[in-house]
Amino acid sequence: MKWIVNGEVYEEQEARISSRNRGALFGDGLFETFRVEKGIPLFLNEHLVRLVQSAEKLRFTHIPDEQEFKRAIREAIRWNQVKSGYLRLTLTRGNGGFAVPLKQLDQPCYWVEARELPLKTNLYDQGIRAIVSYPICNPLSPTSGTKSLQFLDNIMARDDAEKKGVQEAILRTVEGDLCEGASSNLFLVRDGVIRTPALNRGPLPGIVRAWVIQTAHQLGLTVEESRLEPEELHQADEVFLTNSSLGVFPCVQVNGQSVGHGVPGPVTCRLIRAWKEAVMEQTKASF
């Protein structure tokens, strides 16, 4: 496998970053994960806009421009011959110790990896199971809503889920309300109304989250972005999750209790069908 590091192509075992890279030292960086289908990175522009906006929010300077990122992404897909798979773009603030003023860190570092990883289609028919994890999301944190490398809370929550034999952990805020999944955005459906935690509660402004909200409105469905409490998971008729790797996928059990009838619900299935159509449209374009 080949990696693209700061625009240069390397074999995976030869790719290097400095031991003083702040991404490795302090988690001082950001990343974007893309789904690739038919060799096309889905929602490429939306991902790059989010990355740059997050970098600006966190006071990065001299951020590579969109065209440079696109060239690196194109090269990673081409060199690794990815048709259906995964791509990750990582951006760090570069090299420097903790005491170095941010304004002096003007040489960001980025790398792109891409690999073949076909989707497991039974996920959409069977759904996943989840637990509600501990309160860790802080809506007031300056990193809230960014896809930062400071991902250890999510990793630990996901490990808790795996130890309990389920696939996802639903995170709560420090105030106890629902925030998001460890690797996904969260949606509930009750009486035909779709509800999701508002962005001011700390979830990532997910690419597929935004697509769901827009598409649901186009389909004549009502969407509410608000504060959601944990007990609402067990009152919901349907629960579904979203992320860029999998799109829209059902959650049929939370904390050992079935959601609704324990099978993917009609609203979820309708959005999954719409998502598959959107992917087909995306793959007709070039980049």
Instruction: Give me 237's structure tokens.
Output: 């008729």
**How is domain 2-116 classified at the architecture level of CATH?**
2-Layer Sandwich (3.30)
Please state which CATH number belongs to domain 122-282.
3.20.10.10
Strand partners, 223: 194
Q: Distance between CA 162 and CA 156 in Å, rounded? A: 10
Quick one: pLDDT at residue 150?
A: 94
pLDDT at 86: 95
Q: Spell out the domain ranges in the chain.
A: 2-116, 122-282
Q: Please tell me the distance from the alpha carbon of residue 223 to that of residue 19, in angstroms, as a whole number.
A: 46
| pLDDT at residue number 62 | 96
CA distance 69 to 155: 27
Written as six digits, the tokens of 118 are 């076909």
- The CA distance from 199 to 45, in Å, is 21
Ranges of residues in the chain whose predicted pLDDT is under 50? none
pLDDT reported for residue 268: 99
Q: What is the pLDDT of residues 199-249, one digit of tens each?
A: 999 999 999 999 999 999 999 999 999 999 999 999 999 999 999 999 999
Task: Answer whether 287's CB lies under 8 Å from 74's CB.
Answer: yes
